[in-house]
Chain A
């Protein structure tokens, strides 16, 4: 099952660039749909597809190891005739003038021919660009080496500063506190998780982490990192210098779009794809963190969905598109974040909400926030409240709603409050 490497020879098969969750799923879905031509997955990292979410959670805590992260056994690739080329970076791709297939060029000088092309190149952590950003002890969290390095440093650290109050920052802060370290989290906005949750959820996480001993500096910019070789401090915009022997940076990700640019594909932050995972070149598909796609209910808006669920479901769609099949049914986006003993589950996309209600008591550390737009339920954040999460996920998958005036009544389960939407669906909303 080796792909032809002679660029003069006619090419067959599918090349998937990027061996993460989306790339693996694309290959699996092609095979499940009966595709029998060669499949090659090229990945720059020296591992087959692995789970990234535990890297900032159980892996950082030392509860699981590298072996547990792998998404498939080595045998799986052989048995399914998937040629997994790990440690292979593709640096250029050229499409054939005929419009059918093309060639990809690897870092070690090989040429991989293909008939169909899929980009699942993922994203990289956004880097700090301030003075001192290159000091030893400044860590990012995206890959196995990142997490292994950080785990080692946390084992001997005393004082940790986390830059960024998003999911990665909060999960890392929780892991560092669990080790008893002194942790301060710095966030430039005035509240945590500002991009993704409503103010009551932000306030809850502030309070909950505070109770667990995390110090906060919200509304503070970071202007420099101090130290000679190793980082020793973090200078804030007000001149304060926080001592630090480890700095964890979680300020978002940037999609990897260099190859898409070389191919002339339209990009807007990520690679722009349609609801069938087609790029601006209809013969090329893309899936996962490297993409931006139409919002499922408001297709005029492009959204980037950085989640396992999206990587998997979009990859399934991309595989169907490559095979000329109908798109699989639309799924409800969902997400989770484990911060110590706080389990957040998010169903739906709350972007653009115009109303929300809080169900349960945040101080009890078990509550939900349900989001509405034009009177319809669009999403929920559930903290330590699995029933609410599952009920909202179900309501959204049915295209139903839960009336906001009833949702706060904890005498009823949310499942019992699911109602059909009587009003006509908003324009552009798919059944």
Chain B
């Protein structure tokens, strides 16, 4: 199982096992990682699963599509070049060890 490493705004570190095909958001929520709210459950409707992807994984996670791009413009925390909505990133074997920082406000 690929692992996801999430840094919480409080400095805590969470390492969770992901199923291939599950989203980063879904994996974090199932394990109760705090800070990923994900009100809409992955429907790309609420922008409350905002994360900052570690530089080394940016190419592997790809680009936000147009709708996600618009939602990212209005997130509660500042948008950065490495901002993504974690519901839109599906885990693959290549993403094993994916590291991201959870945005401080959702």
What's the Cα separation between A328 and B42 when bound, in Å?
24
Chain B residues with CB under 8 Å of A80's CB are: 32
* CB-based contact B30/A70 at 8 Å: yes
* CB-based contact A394/B30 at 8 Å: no
Stretch at the interface among A11-19, A49-57, A221-229, A287-295: A49-57
Q: A386-B70, A415-B74 given as contacts; is B39 within 8 A of A72 (CB)?
A: no
Q: CB within 8 A of A54: which of B19, B30, B41?
A: B41
* CB-based contact A75/B74 at 8 Å: no
Chain B residues with CB under 8 Å of A390's CB are: 47, 71, 73-74
Query: Which of B29, B39, B43, B46 has its CB near the most chain A CB atoms (within 10 A)?
Result: B43
What's the Cα separation between A80 and B34 when bound, in Å?
13
What's the Cα separation between A402 and B42 when bound, in Å?
29
Chain B residues with CB under 8 Å of A386's CB are: 67, 70-71, 74
B31 within 8 A of A: yes
Q: CB within 8 A of B43: which of A28, A53, A387?
A: A53
What's the Cα separation between A76 and B40 when bound, in Å?
20
B71-92 residues with Cβ-Cβ distance < 8 A to A are 71, 73-74
A286-315 residues with Cβ-Cβ distance < 8 A to B are 308-309, 312
A2 within 8 A of B: no
What's the Cα separation between A294 and B74 when bound, in Å?
30
B45 within 8 A of A: yes
In the complex, which residue of chain B has the Cβ closest to the Cβ of A336? B45
Distance to closest chain A CB from B17 (angstroms): 9
What's the Cα separation between A391 and B75 when bound, in Å?
10
B1-38: CB near A (< 8 Å → 1, else 0) gives 00000000000000000010010001001111000000
Distance to closest chain A CB from B16 (angstroms): 9
A343 within 8 A of B: yes
Q: CB within 8 A of A68: which of B26, B43, B71, B74?
A: B26
Distance to closest chain A CB from B76 (angstroms): 9
Chain B residues with CB under 8 Å of A71's CB are: 29-30, 41
* CB-based contact B43/A75 at 8 Å: no
* CB-based contact B31/A394 at 8 Å: no
In the complex, which residue of chain A has the Cβ closest to the Cβ of B19? A67
Chain B residues with CB under 8 Å of A70's CB are: 30
Distance to closest chain A CB from B48 (angstroms): 10
The contact size tier of chain A is: 20 to 34
Q: A71-B30, A72-B32 given as contacts; is B73 within 8 A of A336 (CB)?
A: no
* CB-based contact A308/B74 at 8 Å: no
Chain B residues with CB under 8 Å of A345's CB are: 45
In the complex, which residue of chain A has the Cβ closest to the Cβ of B40? A336
Q: CB within 8 A of B31: which of A57, A67, A68, A73?
A: A73
A238 within 8 A of B: no
Q: CB within 8 A of A72: which of B30, B46, B70, B73?
A: B30
What's the Cα separation between A60 and B73 when bound, in Å?
31
Q: A51-B41, A387-B70 given as contacts; is B46 within 8 A of A334 (CB)?
A: yes
A309-336 residues with Cβ-Cβ distance < 8 A to B are 309, 312, 334, 336
Task: Return 22 A-B CB contacts under 8 Å, by A number.
Answer: A28-B32, A54-B41, A54-B42, A67-B22, A68-B26, A72-B29, A73-B31, A75-B31, A76-B30, A308-B40, A309-B39, A336-B40, A338-B43, A343-B44, A386-B67, A387-B70, A390-B47, A390-B73, A390-B74, A391-B74, A394-B74, A415-B74
Residues of chain A whose beta carbon lies under 8 Å from any beta carbon of chain B: 28, 51, 53-54, 57, 67-68, 70-73, 75-76, 79-80, 308-309, 312, 334, 336, 338, 343, 345, 384, 386-387, 390-391, 394, 415
Residues of chain B whose beta carbon lies under 8 Å from any beta carbon of chain A: 19, 22, 26, 29-32, 39-47, 67, 70-71, 73-74
7 extra A-B contacts, CB within 8 A, seeds A72-B32, A73-B30, A336-B43? A54-B42, A73-B31, A338-B43, A343-B44, A386-B71, A390-B47, A391-B74
